[in-house]
């Protein structure tokens, strides 16, 4: 009996120690520096996309930092899954109570048309996937871009909740011909902060908080997990024309960033949101973009 008590006490102590240890944190940083110019930006490197990036290429035509970036292409008339943008897998699943930051630097050339004519008339942009315990889809935490010249340029929805949250002034829509930084933060919970839970969404552009959303669920169930992030990947209603844009220095992380916004919220930030001039090479001639 004495030995049994010792065993139980040791097991309980081990459990308490395990629970007190900090959660494993990870960071995916996509800089696109390892690939050869002109190769697919889905090579198996941890510095580029993991899936659905058939139209994304390593380029030096337009670069924010370093010597390379990614050129994202889309074919007119296509909804383009497997071609447009890409998927970033997590090194480890995130669960209720965990957090994730998803930051991307974008360059939309003059003439780029980001309007969507189907699926509600908005373009899928930054997307955080949630899944059920059996691995099946449970919905996306989706940042959408509304069509150009909309009164409100952006909106968020968690597909498991089906409630829209709009944000941004007209001046916060895409500005072509320059690098911009967009970032989304998710605190995972099936109960919104407004209802006593911890689910929170924050969205930034160029380091400025556009909205803190406290009325959204970010999981459908307490047992759901998040396994990956999507940049674009599907064009609702089909792309209006064949065209391309650039991205650089994408970060997806569960590790609390050291940067803070004006309200003190942790954020990744980015080279294009710090006020400095990005490293830019002259753009290549734009062929077959109509």
Contact yes or no for 220/160 (Cβ under 8 A) = yes
Residue 107 has pLDDT above 80, yes or no: yes
Q: Of 100-104, 116-120, 210-214, 244-248, which range is least confident?
A: 116-120
- Return the percentage of the chain with pLDDT > 70, whole number: 86
**Mean pLDDT for the stretch of residues 223-240:** 97
**Mean pLDDT for the stretch of residues 242-264:** 98
Band of pLDDT at residue 120, cut at 50, 70 and 90: confident
What pLDDT does residue 273 have? 54
Band of pLDDT at residue 118, cut at 50, 70 and 90: confident
What pLDDT does residue 197 have? 98
What pLDDT does residue 12 have? 45
Q: What is the pTM of this model?
A: 0.87
Residue 8 has pLDDT above 80, yes or no: no
What pLDDT does residue 170 have? 97
What would the CATH number be for the domain defined by 25-273?
A: 2.60.120.200
What pLDDT does residue 74 have? 98
Band of pLDDT at residue 55, cut at 50, 70 and 90: very high
**Mean pLDDT for the stretch of residues 206-228:** 98
What pLDDT does residue 288 have? 32
pLDDT in tens, 139-165: 999 999 999 999 999 999 999 898 999
pLDDT in tens, 177-206: 999 999 999 999 999 999 999 999 999 999
What pLDDT does residue 213 have? 98
What pLDDT does residue 6 have? 45
Q: What's the whole-number average pLDDT of the chain?
A: 89
- Return the percentage of the chain with pLDDT > 90, whole number: 81
Q: Of 3-17, 40-54, 98-112, which range is least confident?
A: 3-17
Q: Of 44-48, 65-69, 195-199, which range is least confident?
A: 44-48
């Amino acid at each position: 009996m004495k030995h049994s008590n010792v065993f139980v006490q040791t097991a309980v102590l081990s459990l308490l120690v395990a629970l007190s240890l900090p959660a494993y944190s990870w960071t995916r940083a996509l800089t696109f520096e390892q690939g050869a110019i002109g190769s697919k930006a889905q090579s198996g490197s941890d510095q580029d996309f993991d899936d659905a990036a058939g139209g994304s290429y390593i380029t030096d035509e337009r670069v924010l930092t370093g010597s390379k970036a990614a050129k994202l292409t889309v074919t007119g008339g296509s909804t383009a899954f497997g071609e447009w943008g890409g998927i970033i897998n997590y090194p480890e699943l995130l669960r209720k109570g965990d957090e994730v930051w998803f930051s991307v630097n974008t360059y939309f050339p003059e003439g780029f048309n980001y309007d969507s004519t189907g699926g509600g008339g908005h373009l899928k942009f930054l997307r955080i996937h949630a899944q059920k315990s059996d691995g099946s889809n449970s919905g996306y935490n989706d940042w959408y871009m509304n069509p150009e010249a909309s009164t409100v340029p952006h909106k968020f929805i968690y597909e498991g909740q089906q409630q829209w949250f709009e944000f941004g002034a007209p001046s916060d829509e895409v500005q072509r011909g320059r690098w911009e930084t967009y970032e989304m933060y998710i605190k995972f919970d099936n109960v919104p902060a407004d209802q006593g839970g911890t689910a929170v969404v924050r969205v930034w552009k160029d380091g400025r908080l556009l909205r803190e959303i406290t009325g959204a669920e970010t999981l459908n169930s307490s047992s759901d997990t998040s396994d990956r992030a999507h940049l674009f990947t599907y064009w609702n209603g089909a792309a209006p024309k064949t065209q391309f844009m650039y991205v650089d220095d994408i970060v997806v992380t569960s590790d609390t960033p050291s940067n803070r916004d004006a309200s003190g919220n942790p954020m990744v930030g980015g080279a294009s949101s710090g006020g400095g001039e990005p490293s830019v090479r002259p753009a290549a001639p734009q062929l077959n973009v109509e």
